[in-house]
Amino acid sequence: MAKEMALVAGRASAHLAEEIAKNLNLPLAPTVVEQFKDGELEAYYTETIRGKNVFIVQSTFAPADNIMELLMLADAAKRASANKIIAVIPYFGYARQDRKDKSRTSIGAKVMANILTATGINRLITMDLHADQIQGFFEFPVDHLYASNVFLPYIQSLNLPNLCMVSPDTGGTKRAVSYAKWLGCDFAIGYKQRAKANEVESLQIIGDVTGKDVILIDDLIDTGGTICKAASRIKELGANSIMAMCTHPVFSADAMEKLQNS
């Protein structure tokens, strides 16, 4: 296998890449990423990767340096005559900008798809995209993995007597319904209205959570405003217990404090 593939660790996902390498019993491809005083990045490989399938593990959360590093590593691989370049992006940044929901606005997820394609990437492996339709932005194959393979067995192991899966917003309805169907339990949906980005004005729960052991399930938690607002409303409605699970704990600003005080 080592002759056919090269596994590359981006700095944003170095630990994950190391764990993958251990499981595959493969060494990480030696790379150098240098950052100049003005902030520019340069990436290169110190050993040949000619003819290999190169897997670059790098999440693209803020700052934009993480995106640029991925692009530079991909471009370097292309120029080093790699056979195929596969981007492994556990957290796909800009995925919340998946549609034009107001006039004269950008669609960040499509911009990301365009630049990954232009750089020469041949395939994408990612997990729990904010919106499934983002897969359609790409002209190459997308392997969309789900955290449910880890979450569902764990939820079962809790043996909660009155389980209810709740999505904190309508965008996660499909996820909550899928979990509830697999677990054979009830589900409910949060309906929120935003005053502005990252600020929830009001949130209502559609469904019965009274006396239930609630698990709030989401793809990502950024500032924690939505998940905390949902938990507060669910508590008011008389839930027995409330837990939260997410795939991507971004935790911007004071998110940790909000969650601890919720």
**What residues are annotated to the active site?**
192
141 CB-contact burial (10 Å; exposed 0-12 / middle 13-18 / buried 19+): exposed
Give me the amino acid identity at 62. A
Biggest alpha carbon–alpha carbon distance for the chain = 61
Beta bridge partners of 32: 44
Q: CB-side exposure of 105: number of CA atoms within 13 Å?
A: 11
CB neighbour list of residue 79: distance below 8 Å, 6 or more residues apart: none
Burial 67-92 (b: 16+ CB within 10 A, else e): bbbbbbbbbbbbebebebbbbbbbbb
Query: Alpha-carbon distance 186 to 262, whole Å?
Result: 24
Helix, coil or strand: residue 56: strand
Q: Are 98 and 112 in contact (CB under 8 A)?
A: no
CA gap 170, 12 in Å, rounded: 30
b/e 11-42 (16+ beta carbons within 10 angstroms → b): ebbeebbeebbeeeeeebbebebeeeeeeebe
